[in-house]
A and B are shown apart, each in its own frame.
Chain A
Amino acid sequence: MRSARDIAEHVNSGGSAVQVVEEALERIHADTSNAFREVFDQSALTSAAEIDRRIIAGESAGPLAGVPVAIKDNICTREGRTSCGSKMLEKYRSPFDATVVTRLQDAGAVVVGKVNCDEFAMGSSTETCHFGPVKNPADPSRVPGGSSGGSAAAVAAGLVPVALGSDTGGSIRQPAAFCGVTGFKPSYGQVSRWGLVAFASSLDQIGPFTTDTADAALVFGVLRGGDPNDGTCEPSPAKPCQIKPADLKGMRVGVPIQATTDGNAKSVSKMMAEVRDQMSKAGAEMVEVDLSLLDQGISTYYVIATAEASSNLARFDGIRYGHRAHAPGAGPDELMALSRSEGFGAEVRRRILLGTYVLSAGYYDAYYNRALKIRRMIRDEYLKAFATCDVLISPTTPSTAFELGGITDPVEMYLCDRYTVGANIAGIPGISIPFGEDEQSLPLGLQLLAAPFADEQLLNAAASIEALRDQAGIRGARNA
């Protein structure tokens, strides 16, 4: 499959967008990974024909002309359903498009459908999806990661060159690592969240899945920029993102001591050693960094994220939209409780209960308020690290993709996000790039983090490491 850059160039110079989209639809219909929840055959072909018409008429068609894009099921589209992987919203049709969807379409991208995710983005394996688990294209007996598992699988299986996901604690980077593609979570506030069904509003951020960093930068340039509908979005103007691979010579690369522990799988430790070796040979200065609070990340994250989720998900009451229980004679409170219990799956109910607990009288200070204080300490630790380092590197995940049904303990599942939650807690940008494979040919992911709003610097560094990887003949992205 071609990159988004190649497709846009092909279409902008007269190649048929309809043909590009027809081929994508064909691949999607033949796919068996359950990545797609819904395919927009008709509207996608109509949009592609409109792109072709514009180009023939000599009009500009945009930097993503004719690029087929898949959208995570928790991002609102007027076309089709927006179900968030939940029975609660199984039939829900959004009356508006998310800002990111409008921006993609204005840039010429063609939305070909919605992709599955963990229910309300709560999970690390896409197994909590009400519409069945997604299989990892690298090994169908394994999970694709989560929560944006459908987005990662759609790119890794070569169905589309670009998919959007959302990342609250690693939901873009972790599945990107598990499936062997690039997943980029921008700084909090770089991309509008208008139309993203909220999970944890101070942590959520939308970002792209692609096969390489240059495509991630291309899509990021289209997505970013202020939005009057999202007060947390930086009011900067939209502008393209020009990628320029950074010079590794003299680059200061921090490696957290806590990220090179025995807790990592052997293949993951080996990858880290290889990366360090190659980067030092290329002239980068490798610096050991002490992120003493890294191990408090998961606890801090789960308190804050579930607290915010319990509040955000209170809107699903079975009254105005979404699932309503059939309960003749039930009063409003009972109807609400029945509708929510039927509409939400086990993991969502568990997180709502945990969030309600940590916010309840008597526990607020011990859990929620304490977690917010530790959040500041964690953020400050990152800021301190970036005072002396250009980027931080770590594994994206402690292990490669696990078997479907392989993890049933909630805490064990949460620990998959050990290296990723920090970026959400601190609001900094993070990217996972594919870097080789383990002894079972499963993809390994390398995570890079940078200072708040140093998104371009992060992408430039990632592009240089990609080049190193390719020179060394180490396996990069999967795309079919």
Chain B
Amino acid sequence: MSEIDNTAVQKVASLARLHLGPAERDSVRKDLVKVLDHVQSLASVDVEGVEPLNNPHELSNALREDTPSAPLPTDEILNLAPATHDAWIAVPKVLGEGS
């Protein structure tokens, strides 16, 4: 059995910026244990001396020429934002009193 308790689930949820209620936390924990138990099979493979493969064709960076092109239309981008203020995207206050 994989060791993952509700505290660990809570920690991962907070890293992932997800809220989990107490009931959901437990059901998520059970699911994660199931999946992690299945994934344990990877531990049985001998990977000694094998390099990790991030990309199937081992591509290296392909950079475009740094030439200006037309930007996406600002008004359309702003229209997608859930809240705006003039030509800005509105967010909750980031710097609180005393910070």
A residues neighboring B (CB under 8 Å): 92-93, 95-96, 188-189, 202, 228-229, 231-232, 235, 293, 295-296, 298-300, 302-303, 310, 314, 317-324, 330-333, 335-338, 340-341, 344, 349-350, 352-354, 356-357, 360, 366-367, 369-377, 379, 409-411, 414, 425-428, 452
Q: Which residues on B sit within 8 Å (CB–CB) of A377?
A: 45, 47, 50
Shortest CB-to-CB span from A199 to chain B, Å, is 15
Evaluate contact between B80 and A324: CB separation under 8 angstroms. Answer: no
B residues neighboring A (CB under 8 Å): 4, 8-9, 12-20, 28, 31-32, 34-36, 38-43, 45, 47, 50-57, 59, 61-64, 72-73, 76-77, 79-83, 89, 91-94, 96
Evaluate contact between B45 and A353: CB separation under 8 angstroms. Answer: no
CA distance A437 to B93 in the complex (A): 60
CA distance A349 to B99 in the complex (A): 32
Evaluate contact between A332 and B82: CB separation under 8 angstroms. Answer: no
CA distance A293 to B53 in the complex (A): 15
Return the 3 tightest CB-CB contacts between A and B, nearest first.
A427-B56, A372-B52, A324-B82
Evaluate contact between B62 and A299: CB separation under 8 angstroms. Answer: no
Evaluate contact between A367 and B39: CB separation under 8 angstroms. Answer: yes
Shortest CB-to-CB span from B30 to chain A, Å, is 10
Q: Which residues on B sit within 8 Å (CB–CB) of A332?
A: 91-92, 94
Q: List 8 A-B contacts (CB under 8 A).
A: A202-B55, A299-B38, A349-B28, A352-B16, A356-B12, A373-B50, A374-B45, A426-B56
Q: Which residues on A sit within 8 Å (CB–CB) of B51?
A: 373, 376
Selected from B14, B42, B63, B72, the residue in CB contact (under 8 A) with A367 is B42
CA distance A38 to B85 in the complex (A): 31
Evaluate contact between B12 and A353: CB separation under 8 angstroms. Answer: yes
Quick one: closest A residue to B94, CB to CB? A332
Tell me whether A452 and B15 are in contact in the complex, defined as CB-CB below 8 angstroms, given that A366-B43, A370-B42 are known contacts. Answer: no
Evaluate contact between A320 and B57: CB separation under 8 angstroms. Answer: no
Evaluate contact between A452 and B54: CB separation under 8 angstroms. Answer: no
Q: Which residues on B sit within 8 Å (CB–CB) of A372?
A: 52-54
Selected from B4, B42, B73, the residue in CB contact (under 8 A) with A371 is B42
The A contact surface, by secondary structure, is helix
CA distance A189 to B56 in the complex (A): 10
Selected from B17, B28, B76, the residue in CB contact (under 8 A) with A95 is B76
Q: Which residues on A sit within 8 Å (CB–CB) of B43?
A: 366, 370
CA distance A447 to B37 in the complex (A): 29
Tell me whether A349 and B80 are in contact in the complex, defined as CB-CB below 8 angstroms, given that A202-B56, A331-B93, A452-B56 are known contacts. Answer: no
CA distance A323 to B80 in the complex (A): 10
Evaluate contact between A317 and B64: CB separation under 8 angstroms. Answer: no
CA distance A426 to B53 in the complex (A): 10
